[in-house]
Structures are given as C-alpha cells and as structure tokens.
Chain A
Amino acid sequence: MTKDRTLGEHMSRRGISRRAFGKYCAYLASTMALSPKMAPAMAQGLAAARRQAVIWLSFQECTGCTESFTRSYSPTLEDLIFDFISLDYHHTLQAASGEAAELAREQSMEENKGKYIVVVDGSVPTKDGGVYSMIAGHTNVDILASTIENAFAVVAVGTCAAFGGLPYAKPNPTGAVAISELVGNKPLINIPGCPPVPEAMTGTIAHILAFGSLPELDDKHRPLAFFGESIHDRCYRRSFYERGLFAKSFDDEGARKGWCLYEVGCKGPIAYNTCATTKWNGGTSFPIQSGHTCFACGSPNFWDQGGFYKSLPSRTSSIGTVAGATAAAGVALGAGAALIAANRKKQYSKET
C-alpha cells in the first residue's frame, strides 16, 4: 500500500461503504465520549488521513498485548485501522529479522521525522546498566531514547509499559521502570491493561489520525474516554453491592445468583478501565460477567495489591507480630511505671 493513499481510498478498495464507515465513526465517537456532532468530523478526518508510520517496540513483556490486538473481534473496522497504519517495526509481526529489521526502524524514523508514533509494550530494565533486556546489542533504555527522539508521540500499551506491571512487582529484580519515567516531555499516552482492551487502542489511534492531536488524558496519561470511570461505577452487579449482597466464595449460592464479588477480592472500585462497557470479544463479556473478580490489571502496582483474592479493604502487611510485640511492650512499660510509682509512694510515706 502506498503511503500517499488516504484511509478513504483504502476503505473503498476494501469494499467498505461510506455508510458502514460513518456508523463506525459514530460508534468510535460514542465510546470516546465525544459529542455525536463530532462523528461526521471524525469520519471526514479519518477518511482524509494518510498512512501513519508506527514503530512498535517490545521490551520486558509477554506479547499478550499484541496477542490481544491481533485476536480482537474480527473482521471488523478496527482491523482497518491496524491495516491502514504502516507498522514499520514490530518484532512479532514483521517479516524482516536481524539487521534488516533494525534498518527498517531506522529508515522509518528518518523518513517520518517528527511524524511517526512509537508504541511501546513492556517495561524497561534499568538495573546493572540495563543488561536484562537487549535488542541487537543495545539496551532497551538506549533503543527507547533514540527511537522517541523525533517521534510525534509515544503510546505505552499494556500495564508493563504504562506502570511497570509484572516486571516492576516486588522485588523488581531488573530495576524495571514504566515508559513515563524515560520519555521526558514527549507527548505520552498510556493504555494500560493486562492486556488492554483492543478498542481503547484503535480508538486512540483513530483519534490521532482523525484530529491530528492526542485525546483528552487523565493525570496518569490515560485517555479519559476509556479510563475515566471505574469498573465498579459501570458494573452490572453494583446493585448487589449497594444492597450488601455478596458472594462469599466462587461457587456458593451468592455467586450462582450473580451477587457482588467484593468479598472474594474484586478490585473493581479502584480499577479505571473500559471492560465493563466495551467488554471483550466483540462485546461478549468481561471477567466479572464471567463470574471472576476484577484484578484492576490496568492500575499501577496491581500485582502488589495484597493478593488477588483478598478483599480491597484487607490489610496488606502483617499486623499480628506488630500488635503482639507492641502490646507486650505496653504492658511491660505500664506495669513497670506503676510499680516504680508504688515504690516511691511507699518511700514517701516512710519518710513522712
């Protein structure tokens, strides 16, 4: 596909009608909480958009994010967005390997200076000079720094890239850090999740293509349209939570009746993500609908929240030893002070 072809032209070659495309843009606009009036503008912007160069860097990751995107409900118009972007470098998907692959990255950077988007999945190890993850003899830190230098924006995909994720979990043996710690002032979008919802990714890219700017972000650089509300706020089991009806285990009567999963460890109240509304597999379901708890996998430190099956208010550090030791110290000091006072009193009454 030539880089000069617009998305509109690409669409008609794929046999997608203007009407279907218009509907898709209306859907995108609504998932991104844009006013319905923005849908035609989005359609117009997208139709006129030229191929966007994307360089996808994979660092300390499990490829789950790529798996999620490539296995998104297909064939859909979301595919079109992926088809349309010029994915110039991606370890898992590119045909080239070795030096040819690295050359493709450098060439794309040169040809699209200031215009290309860098998508990153995985965290970056910084300990011991960053030796725990190297590509073509270069550390992830160096590759990231050189690749983002002339990028238009950086998109950190998945919780590892956005917040450190699993590699960052205690004891973080590789000194992993989130991408946000290494990009300086470069425009950054975080699309966390383990893996992230594909629509959050395509929606964000579509927004950039249509409007040439980043979508509205929250304080953690997440697109507000997808991460503005918590799972708890949008959960269909919420009425059970309000009524105090909780499943006590995964196969009790409460669980079978679809009651709230708060007591079996649901982290929905602290999870800001779009699963409860967008859902997975083309809107089929999401973890809570399937009878499991939400892990808050798109939140910082979700791996270290005190246990996936411990309820949210549970203490996260051991208290028994501290309570026992301090109580013993209190009794010893209090009893000692009382005895000293009693002795003094005795002495005083002897003297007088």
Chain B
Amino acid sequence: MDLLSFARGPALQFAIGVFCFGVTWRLAILLFTPQARDLTPARKGALPSPIAGGREVFRRMWPEIHPTGSNMFTTINGYVFHLGLAVIVFGFAPHIQLIKSIFGTAWPSLPNFVIHIAGGVTIASLIAALVKRLTSPVLRLISTLDDYISWAVTIAPLITGYMLVGRLIQPYNTALAVHILSFVVLLIWLPFGKLMHAFIVFISRARTGAYLNHRGAQL
C-alpha cells in the first residue's frame, strides 16, 4: 500500500475513530457527572437558565478590548486565526469534497486565491501567537506542554497544505499524503488536549452564563 492510500484509507479511518471516541468520552463525563444543585432562589429579574446560557455563548463571541488595551493583541490575533481556519476548512474545494464524502453535504467553494491569502494570514497569526506566548513572562509561566503540542498540530496541516498547493513537496501524491497525515495527527490529538475547547467552549460559556444570571450578576 502506498503512502497516499494509507493516509486516505486506514489512517483517516483510525483517526476518525479516535476522534469520535475521545470527543464523546469527554463530553459524556462532563454532562453525566452530577452537579451540586444550586438551592438558592434565582435573583429577581433573572432570565430562564437556557436563555441566559445561550445569550452568554453569543455575547462572548463579541470582542471586548480592555480599556488599557492590554488584551488587544490576544483578542484580535485570536479572531484572525480562528476565522482564517474556518475559511480554509469550509471554503477550500478539496476540503468540501472530503466533508461531502463523510457527511454527504457540500456547498460552493471559494476561489483559490482567497484560500491562499487566508492560509498565509493564519500561519502568520499562529506564529505571532507562539511568539507572544514565549515572550510574555506570564503566558510562558502558565503554558504547559499541551499548549505547545496543540499549537504544533494546528499549524502543521496549514504548513503541509501550503507546501501541497505550492508544490514544495514532490510528487503531489506524497505531498497530499503528508497533508492528510498531519490532519490525522490533529484529529487524534484534538479530544485529549486543549483543542477540545472547540466543543467544550459552548458548554462552559452556557453554564457560566446560567450560573451568573441565577446569581444576578450584570453581564
């Protein structure tokens, strides 16, 4: 079996298995662990919990820059690479074809030059995030191996993708296989590291919103 057949076949199948297992396992633990019930009565004017939770999920998506501007870089840079990743994953024709082969649904793709720009900007943004992490004493102190692995497995498919479209690895088959394998590594790592925030972020924000609303906090 050649490398491309291995990447598109057993490797992708295995990674999807690990990914599905890991994500559902962690979500099940989170959702099935009984929580201590808040017996206090809700504050006057408090919204019903599902509404308060849902509102908080969306409210926190809106950027909030601190008056001193101290979180300016983290906020803007965070938006840049998250949006960049979304454009690349959901806008590039070959990615849409992969999604279609798994979920059976597809949508029109973006022109390649848009994807190339998004790719370049996202890579630069992720590198900037790493530089910030390494140069900020506080960030460096609170960083763990998880942060660095999560960064590496996120940027790897971007770099291999760029090498693929830029024909920096030859032949194309090998470049495509390397790109798919870097995605396979990302899928395997995602549920077990901080990248799991892609799923947990909504639950944690909703819970926080519901809790603070119950306590009457001004959000």
Minimum CB–CB distance from A270 to chain B (whole Å) comes to: 5
| In the complex, A59 has a CB within 8 A of chain B | no
Closest to A314 in B: B101
B97 within 8 A of A: yes
Q: Mark B13-54 against chain A: 1 for CB-CB distance below 8 A, else 0.
A: 100111011111111110111100000000000000000000
Known interface pairs A317-B12, A323-B17; A338-B108 also in contact (CB < 8 Å): no
Bound-state CA distance A341–B98 (Å) is 39
- Return chain A residues, CB-CB under 8 Å to B33: 338, 341-342
| CB proximity of B134 to chain A, nearest CB, Å | 35
Which of A246, A270, A324 has the most chain B CB within a 10 Å cutoff? A270
Instruction: Point out the residues of chain B lying under 8 angstroms from A40, CB to CB.
Output: none
Do A301 and B5 touch (CB < 8 A)? yes
B62 within 8 A of A: no
The dominant DSSP class at the A interface is helix
Residues in chain B near residue A315, CB distance under 8 A: 8-9, 12-13, 98, 101-102
Residues of A within 8 A of B16 (CB): 319, 322-323, 326
Question: Is B10 close to A, CB under 8 A?
Answer: yes
Q: Which residue from chain A places its CB closest to the CB of B10 in the assembled complex? A: A317
Specify which chain B residues have a CB less than 8 angstroms from the CB of A332 in the assembled complex. 28
Specify which of B12, B21, B31, B100 is in contact with A329 (CB 8 Å cutoff): B21
CB atoms of B28 and A334 under 8 A apart: yes
A335 at the interface (CB under 8 A from B): yes
Chain A interface size band reads 35 or more
A295 contacts B by Cβ under 8 Å: no
Is residue B75 contacting chain A, with contact meaning CB distance below 8 A?
no
- Take A311-B101, A319-B16, A338-B33 as given contacts and tell me if A246 and B93 are in contact as well, using a CB distance cutoff of 8 Å: yes
Known pairs A314-B101, A329-B21, A330-B25. 7 more at Cβ < 8 A?
A269-B172, A301-B2, A315-B13, A316-B12, A323-B17, A333-B25, A338-B28
Contact among A243, A301, A316 with B111 in the assembled complex (CB-CB below 8 Å): A243
Given contacts A262-B93, A326-B20, A327-B20, contact A334 B32 (CB under 8 A): yes
A314 CA / B5 CA spacing, docked (Å): 11
Q: Does A165 reach chain B (CB closer than 8 Å)? A: no
Contact status B93-A244, CB under 8 Å: yes
CA distance A341 to B94 in the complex (A): 44
A189-201 contact mask (Cβ, 8 Å, vs B): 1 or 0? 0000000000000
